[in-house]
Amino acid sequence: MTSFKDDAATTQQDRATASDAGAPEPGGRLTLAGILETLAGGRLPIRFTAYDGSSAGPPDARFRLDLVSPRGTTYLATGRGDLGLARAYIAGDLEAHGVHPGDPYELLRALADDLVFTRPSPAMMAKLVRSVGVRHLRPIAPPPQEARPRWRRVAAGLRHSRARDAEAIHHHYDVSNTFYEWVLGPSMTYTCACYPRPDATLDEAQENKYRLVFDKLRLSPGDRLLDVGCGWGGMVRHAARRGVRAVGVTLSEQQAAWAARAIADEGLDDLAEVRFADYRDVAESGFDAVSSIGLLEHIGVRNYPSYFEFLRSRLRPGGMLLNHCITRPENRTDPAAHGFIDRYVFPDGELTGSGRIISAAQDAGFEVLHEENLRPHYAMTLRDWCANLVAHWDEAVAEVGLPTAKIWGLYMAGSRLAFEQGGIQLHQVLAVRPHDDGGVGDLPLRPWWTP
């Protein structure tokens, strides 16, 4: 959301703030608005007001942030990165004006485009610390919606152990099926859609995504499909409607219950099944295809070898794998999520580049046939999810509470911005399990699906 620029020397921005930031407090301390404007180098793109009576930024700015309580100051001062901002916002100590809480995208974009924090000189940093006050530098309990820090999650097992993975999935996916219905729409699909046209609806785009996966996997009536991390069973039901015997697995009990009802309502019981289970508990093998749509983000990079080896073991020779997941634009950085995303959205989530994913699949014995990046499509998907949340805001707040609803608006709007700017991407990787002689059967020489 913001960035820092090193500046070891005392700058002009260190020594001056805008006239409306409020007079210095007794003892030469800066007001809260003065602290923010000092850090921003006097270039605030929004209006900021604080409970101490100070304000900064253009009076006629489209967006405004109001810091309304001392607790918010403590959250901002003690939370690293975006965590302090998220805590203050979720707890109601930092109020946003000019955007809907279900879709604060425009505010986040203004901050990302125009707010650059400078790194103060040591002398100015000391002054800022004195101005904030020692009492605000002592961490306090975060909002109750926050997951435990990683070091405290060890009680649930090592990262990406079965027990800890189950707890992480429960934190994110067992919010409320009713809430998800309002956000995701009738498809109940919580993964990137694929828009056939810029003006396509979300439902059209999700159906088109399932069509694309189905076609890439070359599925036909009578084939067997395993869908790992199946969510509410969208891919399973799509395949079953076309005569494919499909088994899905999810670690979310609420997802499995919803999917079972949907399968029964459509009369697909003889072809479709969704299990509340770990994908590693699937005993059957010889599947014609495996789809993994939005699961790899929860697996952990160190577990990629065993993940791909297991999926390969479930396929018949010549069987196809489609892996669809969020990625980073490079393969060098630490894959672990931090800050707001790790504590409020995806505990223990890990993202890496498509290069690592392809390498792990190849090393497990797959032949990679094709990969593509659907990054713009995910930005559009998140746009439409936010629009759904705004349209059902009152019902969503009544269902899950205001803090949780705000978390989802912030998370989806921020993710949309990250996809638009290329900070994260979405890759589909198509691979095949070769026969023992290295052959891959009768695959066409060129892609056989419609983009």
Phi and psi, residue 129, nearest 5°: -65, -45
Scan for tokens 């159906």, then name that residue.
207
Q: What percent of the chain has pLDDT over 90?
A: 80
Query: Tokens 């198509």, residue?
Result: 430
Phi and psi, residue 65, nearest 5°: -115, 130
pTM exceeds 0.95 for this model:
no
Buried b (16+ CB within 10 A) or exposed e, 400-416: beebbbbbbbbbbbbbb
Beta bridge partners of 250: 276
Residue with tokens 């869908």: 227
Element (H, E) at 371: strand 367-373
From the options 3.40.50.1370, 3.30.2350.10, 1.10.10.10, 3.40.50.150, give the CATH code of 163-432: 3.40.50.150
- Residue 21: exposed, middle, or buried by beta-carbon count in 10 A (0-12, 13-18, 19+)? buried
Start-end of CATH 3.40.50.150 domains in the chain: 163-432
What tens digit of pLDDT does each residue of 143-190 get?
Answer: 999 988 865 655 555 556 666 555 655 555 667 999 999 999 999 999
Whole-angstrom distance, CA of residue 332 vs CA of residue 354:
11
Q: Is residue 367 packed enough to be buried (19+ CB in 10 Å), middle (13-18) or exposed (0-12)?
A: middle
**pLDDT tens, position by position, for the chain (451 residues)?**
333 233 333 333 333 333 455 455 555 789 999 999 999 988 899 999 999 999 999 999 999 999 999 999 999 999 988 999 999 999 999 999 999 999 999 999 999 998 888 888 899 989 999 999 989 999 999 999 998 886 565 555 555 666 655 565 555 566 799 999 999 999 999 999 999 999 999 999 999 999 999 999 999 999 999 999 999 999 999 999 999 999 999 999 999 999 999 999 999 999 999 999 999 999 999 999 999 999 999 999 999 999 999 999 999 999 999 999 999 999 998 898 889 999 999 888 899 999 999 999 999 999 999 999 999 999 999 999 999 999 999 999 999 999 999 999 999 999 999 999 999 999 999 999 999 999 999 999 999 999 9
What is the C-alpha separation between 407 and 419, in angstroms, rounded?
A: 18
Residue 328 contacts residue 426 (beta carbons within 8 Å): no
Nearest to 272 by CA among 232, 311, 310: 232
Query: Do the bridges between strand 4-5 and strand 367-373 make them parallel or antiparallel, or are there none, so unpaired?
Result: unpaired
CA neighbor of 427 nearest in space, from 383, 364, 361: 361
Q: Which two tokens stand for residue 121?
A: 């000189």
